[in-house]
Amino acid sequence: MNKINEWFTEKGWAEGVLVAAHDSVNVEEFYKQYQANPELWKAVFKFMKQDLSAMEVGKYPLVGTQAFAMISEYDTKEPENAKWEAHKNYIDLQYVISGEEKMGILPLSEAKNAMEYNEQKDLIFYGENDGELHLATPEAFFLFFPDDVHRPCIKADESAPVKKLVAKIAVAD
């Protein structure tokens, strides 16, 4: 086992959070970003140790503008109403606190139909694309790096309520 996989498997980075990282997580990029800004990641994982199901919907600052968390509640969408998106300046940690949804993942290099980048929101949408869909449940969190185009909020079977944490972590240069 190499150093990076050993680091990931030992879970020292998790700050005691019992939720697993989803199998889709790019472990090498996670290691690189964590090592560059460990204080940001530690703040996010410490935040996750709280009873997230009892937290109010809203935005929670963690480390200035470098790391913050948002709790939201919504009903999942039909696939055609869920947009592909990517970010340049922030990494998304997405964790379904309650409920379930499907999340699409696609490498940026394969994404087509880019719209205009909104610098203020650090957001670029993409038109129709084919990507892999994964079931998101309270058992695992997802990490989306700038090279990951993602499509959250898709209904699993029927539209259903979801409570979700999205933590934003500044990308290390």
Residue 6 belongs to what H/E stretch?
helix 3-10
d(CA 42, CA 60): 15
* pLDDT (mean) for 108-114: 95
Task: Please give the pLDDT value at position 173.
Answer: 79
pLDDT tens for each residue of 8-43: 999 999 999 999 999 999 999 999 999 999 999 999
Which tens digits make up the pLDDT trace of 141-166?
999 999 999 999 999 999 999 999 99
Q: In the predicted model, is pLDDT for residue 1 greater than 90?
A: no
Q: How far, CA to CA in Å, does 168 sit from each of 12, 28, 34, 120, 142? A: 20, 19, 13, 14, 12
- What is the rounded (10 degree) CA torsion for 46, 5, 9, 96? 50
Instruction: Report yes or no on whether pTM surpasses 0.85.
Output: yes
φ, ψ dihedrals at 28, nearest 5°: -65, -40
Fold for domain 3-170?
A: Jelly Rolls (2.60.120)
